[in-house]
Structures are given as structure tokens and as C-alpha cells.
A and B are shown apart, each in its own frame.
Chain A
Amino acid sequence: MEAWMAVVVGALFAVSIYLMLSKHIIRILIGAAILGNAVNLLIFTNGRLTREVPPIIGVDESVLSAQAANPLPQALVLTAIVIAFSFFAFLLVLGYRAYQELGSDNTDEMRVAEPVDDQTPPLGY
């Protein structure tokens, strides 16, 4: 089961990285969104997979049943999903504003901070 999940995680990583290597911000954005899923599934699978039973302690029990899923990766991933979403929202607005200001979604044309014809800094004092 974990082996199949590993293949899926590999596919997620490969696709997200391929998208992020693009010049266009929309593709980079989509790639970043997929990267979040890839990492989350990676952490989730690292904690081993068990079917169906959520990590909730029964009314009459004091500890989890043996069939219950591992709670630790779930707690980590829950945090990661929320943070990934915040960053995605920020990146999205950043890309949108950059397009408005610079009139391009091509990162090669976004050269405000590192202009193509950068001058040599002063050589003396």
C-alpha cells in the first residue's frame, strides 16, 4: 500500500517541479499548490497507512484502539495544509500585482531588482 502511495507522491513531486521550472507565474503558482499536496502526502505516508479508523479514543476507552490511524503525522499535516494555503494566497496576490505593475507574466521580463544592464558599482570611495 505504501509502495503505491510512494509512486503517487513521486508523481506529485515530479509534476509540481516541472511546473515550477516554467517561466510563467501561473504555472509556478499551480506547481506550488501541488508541491504542498506532495509534501503533505509524504509526511502522511511516512507515519504508515492504516484504513478507515480515525485516531479518536472511544467513549469507554482511555487509549486509541490498535486499528486507529497514527495521529502524529495528521497533526503535522493539518498545520502544513493551512500554512501552505496562506502562502499560496500570498503568492497568488503577489503574482497578480506583479502582472498589473509590470504587464507580464513571464519571469524573464521581471527584471526590476536585477536589471539586464546592471551597472558596475562604484570602484572607489
Chain B
Amino acid sequence: MFGDANGTMMFAMLLPFLAALIAPKLTQIMGAKAAWLLAIAPAFIFLHIAGFLPQVALIGTSPDHPPITGGYLWVPEFFVSFSWFIDGLSSTFALLISGIGTFIILYAGGYLGGHPQLGRFFSFLFLFMGAMLGVVLADSFFTFFIYWELTSITSFLLIGFNHKSAASRRSAIQALVVTGGGGLALMAGLIMLWLTTGSNSFSFMLSSEDSIAFYSKYLTQSPFYLALLLLVLGGAFTKSAQFPFHFWLPNAMEAPTPVSAYLHSATMVKAGVYLLMRLNPLLGGTTEWLTILPIFGGATLIIGTLLAVRQTDLKLMLAYTTVSSLGLLVMLIGFGTEKAIAAAVLYLVAHSLFKGALFMVAGIIDHEAGTRDITKLGGLRKAMPITFGAAVVAAISMAGLPPLFGFLAKEEIYYALIGADLWSIVFTIVAIIGNGLMFVIGFAVALKPFLDEKIETPKHAHEGPPLLWLGPVVLGAVAVFAGIFSWLAHYYISNPMSTAVWGAIVEIDLSLAALFHPSLPLLLSAITVAFGVLAYRNIDHLRTAIDNFYNWFFGGWGPDKGFDQFISGIVRLSFAITRRIQTGRLEVYMTFTFAIVALALFIPMWVYGEFPAMPDFTGEVRFYEAAIMAILVLGLLAVIYAQDRLTAIVSLGIQGFAVAVLFMLFGAPDLSFTQFMVETLSVVILALVMTRLKLTAADHRSWPQVIIDGVIALACGIGFMLYLMRVTQDKFDPYLSEFFSAYSKIIANGTNVVNVILVDFRGTDTWGEIAVVMVAGLAVLALVRIRPHRTIVADNDPDAPVKDNLVAKAEVSK
């Protein structure tokens, strides 16, 4: 343990995983009411993190207040530790994750109450919660990356929760491929960051302003800076759905609404933004950073809002505005000024509150009215007054109107963007259009289903249970509270977080008082509202216009379709390659294998100049030794030239016995006996088995085939011969042999050294050998006992046609 570590923090970080473990059983016992009990877990984490806030608020104000760190050594040999790191950025994120998580758990209980797999759903949600908390609290790159990937995997599980729907499965795989691919880039980026700086922990590099200045200078001047930046951005942009990787996020709306509200608006998709904020002090401020981020962020903002207006599905509208909000955040981070960072921080918090609430509202409407198509909804305000109230509050925050927190965020954005140069003017206009359209969507979602004349919905709508509306109401109340008591929010949340992202103390003093001081940002807000109101009144025209333009421009193609083409292309490519290298013909595999064996023998000898010297063939070979060797070679030739298989088998016996005699002649009687027995058995069994079958008599190879096979075989043979000559020409190292010779009798009390080695010194090896013989024997037995021409398939064969099963069952019932 090190740092300010204490067991409670460890417990808090592992608590969601614990909850994931018990959730299914608890849900089985208590049903949807288990949500109340399970929500205690995130609530506890929330309170625990909130307990750090007084300490967090002081971080950076003096050297006595460094970020809070702690943890355990994990793999000290590789400098890997399980460690956490709390500063303003982590604490705010952790509070959002656990706070919104508490209400999402309650909401999920209401939303999926009675669903047969509710327990599993809770389990997945908690797994995600634990992973996401890990991402924002992790200090070491390794733990950060593991948690990062875990969020992708849990997102996959949650999107594919309704696994019987093909659309869900597709969306789940798409999200996994996109975010997982980005994860690989991020891993490379983090490794480069580690290799460049020599440190693998955030806290070490971000511990003080001096340290930040040192590492920032070091990194941004490194020749690997651009590669490193692009890899990290690859991870961040895919996770945070930046154009052109935005398409997976709207598709992820296939997941049940609690997932959309939690993962795909309030938390997981912000992991990329978190990463950019975390690395801003280290990697930010360069031309590359200040160019790439605003351009991609701005493009995502505009494209997201335009596509949002095009939708009529409540969740899809919100999903596209989430894309655009993420774009806005990336754009602000990339603006690289203190004000822009402050604006990003305010907007991030405001967005999590209102977007989570709006998603939950959309879910309630869907749950209670049976549809979430905005054109089929209207007049629900009387039936669902609480939901309506929560929706309006959230929409006001999204639209950036006072007195909510969203207003402060939007003011700060305009403060940050205003400037006299072309770059600032362009991005101010981008922000006005984006905000104006988000205003439209916010009110379209919050007002349209509730106001106007009543439209009959598929289900008779009425207010949902408290489990459902509690979340949106509380999130709305928090947004109001944070807007009115802004100094409190700034002191504990915005200032520490901005300080962490900016790398130096940031003081935000924006409050609702700004309303009474005429300023340029206020004017821009007014313009935004005017634009929004105008657009809202003409939303149907706008939708048709964008739809027509979209269809004309893309002609039905888009990144989403491109993804399908990419996947099918990969499958086709791998299939084509497999067909070429896995031809299904054994001889091809064998030819390649032995050709490579030959190369492996010759190339090292050639490269290292290790060919043997010309051996001394005149050395004494006794007459009978030469005779046995000659018999061996003759036996081999006879095997090859044998016209029928019985001759071949007998010739096999000749060479085998010759080998046995050679063992005998060179002082290995044990080997000789064994070889005699084995060869006899082999020949007898082979003759018994193979002569019963009507096999092709001789080996029909075409002449070219004979030449190819012959060359490969000869190459291998000569290779092994040269290798053996080379080895035997070297000096012999008798170390091991002398060891066994010296200790066989003294220690093991055996005189036959070979036996002693087998049963004493290497007894475990012999035991392994016996096991191999036994397994081979069992396999032989199993093969012999399977009766021929009968396929055995289990009853639950997934490939069997369903119809047959039904017919079979009908026959049984008769």
C-alpha cells in the first residue's frame, strides 16, 4: 500500500463488481424491488467520493495540497500498480458516474420491471459502473487501459442485451469493433507515452505545475509527438463518437433506455473527453492539438445537430445531440484557452445532468405510451405531469436558458469563443448553429409529446411509478440548484476540475448575475434563442429539407453502411486468404512444412558459416558395423521401391531391426531390446490391419511430383546429416553424463545408469511418458469402438432444422 491509500477506497472501487455478483440472485428473490437495495452501492460510492471534495477543492492552491493518490503494487517487476488518483477531474467524473448511476439503477428497476433477465441487466450495469469508475480513477496507464477496454466490453453486452434482435446484435458488434479498434490505437499511444516519458502514471506527471511544465515540454518536442497524439486521438475519438466514427452511437440506441441514458449520454461516451482533458496539460497547446481537435469537434457538432433534426424517434434525436455535444466538448478542449477549458467543464457537467434526464424521460414516454415516434405523440401533459415537469427543466438546461446550470455553461462557451480573428468567428458561428439546433431538439423532446392536442397512443398513457420519474426529477433539481448556487458548484466542482484540466489554478466566477450585465455573450445567447425559436416553429420543414439534402448528398451511403461493407470485405478477404493457404490438401501442408524444415536447417548454417569440415570417413569402421548400416539403407530403399504394401511393411521391419542392432553395437542394450519389441509389434499390427484394406497398391506419383518431393526429402536428409556432422565435430561437453555417472550408485543406489535416470532423476518425465501412452491407448480404444457409418449428434444440435424437431415431437405425442 502506498500514498493516501485506505481500504475504503479499494472497497468503493470494487463495490460495483461485488454488486454485479449478487444482483441476479437478489433480483430473483425480490424482483424489481431489488433496485432499491442495489442502489445503495452507487450511493455509497457517491458519498465516499464526495467526502474527498473539501480536500480536492484545495488541490494546486499550495504545494501542501497535491492530488490524492493511493494504491497497491501489482506487478512491481514491470512497474505496474493498482493505483488511484483523485483530482478535480476524477472526482467530478466519479460523482457523475456514481450519482447518475444510483438513479439509473432505480430507473432500470422500473423500466425493466418483470423482465425475465432483469438480474442479468443489473449485473451488466454494475460491471460497467465499476469499469467506468476505474477509468476515471485509475492512475497507472495499465489499469486505466484495462478499465477502458472493460467499458467497451460491458457496452457491447448492454447494447446486445436484447440479443434476439438482429439489429441489437449488429449494433453491439459495431460498437465493439469501433471502440475496441480505437482501444488498440490508444494502447499503442499509452505505450509510446510511457516509453517517451519513462513514467506510466498520471499522478507522477501531473503532480505539480513544475512537473507538468517539464513533461509537457519534453513530450511536445519529442519527434514521436505527432504519432503519439494521433494514436491517443484514435482512442478518444472512437470512444466519444467524433465524426467520422460517430455512427456507432445512434445505433447503440438499440439498448434498453437505462443504458442509453447512462452509458451513451452521461458517462461512457465521455471517456474519450475525459482522456483528452486528462492529457490536455501534457499534450495540449501545440499547433496540431489546436487544429485537429476544433476541426473534428466542430464538424461533429454541426453534423450531429443536423442529423438530430432529421430524426423523429425521441431516442435517436437525443442520441445525435449527444454526438454534437461531444463534438462541442472536443472543440472547446481544442481551443486551448483557460476560458474554453472552463466552458468545456461546465458544459460537460450540465450535459450529463440534462441529457441523462431527457433520455429517462424519453424512456418513460416509450414505456407508458408505447411509442417514441414524436409525430405520434401529443397532449400527454395531463396524464404525466411529473414527467412533463422534469422534461421541461431538463430541456431548459439543454437550451441554455436561465436559471439552470446549462445557461452558465453556454455563457462560458461564448466567453471562450469570442474573438476578432477569422478562426474565432467561424467557431462562434458553429457554436451558435449547434446550440440553436440543440435548443430545438431539447424542446421538441420535452414539449411536443406533452403539449398540442391529444393523440391516441398505442398504450393508454399514465404516470409511471416513482422508480421511473425519480431520476429525471432529481437530476433536474440538481441542475437548478447548481445554477442558482453557482458559487458552491464552482468551488467544489467546476474550479477543481478546470484546474486539473488546465494544469494551473482556474477561478470561474460566472453566475446568474451575468443576466443583468449586458455583454456580447449575452447577446449571442439571445441570438441563439431567437434562432432556436424560429427553427422550432418550422421544425417539420427543417426536417424535410435536411432529409432531402441528406438523401441527395449521400445517395443512401453513409459511414454506417460503410461499416457493413468494411466488415463483409474483411470476411471475404480472410476467406480468400484461407482458401489459398489452407487448401485442404494434406500433401500441400506437408510439402510446405518440410520445405521450411530444410530452410531452417540450411539458412542458419549458411548465415553463421557453420557447415561441417570434411569428415574423416576413413576412421575405423568395423566390418559388421558397416554391414548393419548397409542393411539399414537397403531396407529403406526397399520400402520406397516396394511394389506391394506387404513388401514395404517387411522392409520397414528390416530397417527397424537394423537400428536395434546398431543400438546393441554401440553399448545400448536397453534401447536395443525396446526397439526389437516395438518394431516387431509395429510390423505385425501394420500387416494385420493394412492388408485387410483394399488400398492402392503402389505409390502413383507423377514425375514432376517425384522430383519435387525427392528434392525436399533429400534437402532435409542432407541438412540433418550436415547438422549431425557439425555437432559431432565439436568438443563434447560431458557435464550431465558425468553427473549421472557420479551419483547413480552413491545417491540412487542403482548400477544401470539409464534406468536410474528414468525412474529416479527424471521420474516425473517418465510419469508424463506413461500418461502419454495411456492417452494414446484410450484414443485408440475410443476410435476402435465407434461403430462405422453412424453419425451421432446431440439432441440439441443447433444446426438441425427446427421443423424436424416439431415433427419429431408431434410423432412422440401421437
Contacts and interface: CB of A to CB of B under 8 A. Distances in A.
Main secondary structure of the interface of A (DSSP, over half): helix
Interface string A27-71: 111100110011011101111111111111111011110001111
B577 interface: no
Given A12-B636, A13-B720, A93-B784, A70 B655 contact: no
Given A54-B669, A123-B567, A64 B741 contact: yes
Which bracket fits the contact residues of B? 35 or more
B741 A63 contact: yes
Nearest to B701: A22
A26 B617 CA distance: 36
Interface string A83-125: 1111111101110110111000111101101111010111111
Given A29-B686, A30-B639, A92-B686, A22 B587 contact: yes
B721 interface: yes
B693 A71 contact: no
Contacts of B636: 11-12, 15, 34
B33 interface: no
B752 A63 contact: no
A38 B736 CA distance: 24
Interface in A1-24: 1-15, 17-24
Nearest to A122: B571
Contact of B725 (A3, A15, A56, A97): A3
A107 to B, nearest CB: 4
B788 interface: yes
Which bracket fits the contact residues of A? 35 or more
A69 B762 CA distance: 19
A45 B758 contact: no
B621 interface: yes
B520 interface: no
B620 interface: yes
Contact of B721 (A6, A90, A92, A97): A6
Given A13-B720, A90-B780, A55 B725 contact: no
Nearest to B788: A100
Given A18-B709, A125-B170, A11 B621 contact: no
A124 B568 contact: yes
A30 B754 contact: no
A37, A68, A69 pick with most chain B CB within 10 angstroms: A37
Contacts of B583: 114
B662 A41 contact: yes
Interface stretch (B234-242, B459-467, B711-719): B711-719
B633 A8 contact: yes
B639 A51 contact: no
Nearest to A97: B783
Interface in B59-102: none
Nearest to B568: A123
A34 B169 CA distance: 53
A123 B516 CA distance: 61
A14 B669 CA distance: 27
Contacts of B716: 13-14, 17
Interface of A: 1-15, 17-24, 26-30, 33-34, 37-38, 40-42, 44-59, 61-64, 68-72, 74-75, 77-79, 81-90, 92-94, 96-97, 99-101, 105-108, 110-111, 113-116, 118, 120-125
29 contacts: A4-B625, A5-B662, A6-B615, A6-B721, A6-B724, A7-B721, A11-B633, A17-B713, A18-B713, A21-B591, A22-B701, A26-B690, A30-B648, A33-B656, A41-B659, A44-B666, A52-B665, A57-B744, A63-B742, A69-B668, A71-B740, A71-B744, A75-B758, A79-B765, A96-B689, A106-B696, A108-B587, A118-B579, A120-B571
Given A30-B652, A55-B754, A93-B780, 18 more contacts: A1-B625, A6-B615, A8-B629, A15-B640, A21-B709, A26-B690, A30-B639, A41-B659, A57-B744, A59-B751, A69-B666, A71-B741, A75-B762, A82-B769, A89-B777, A89-B780, A115-B584, A120-B575
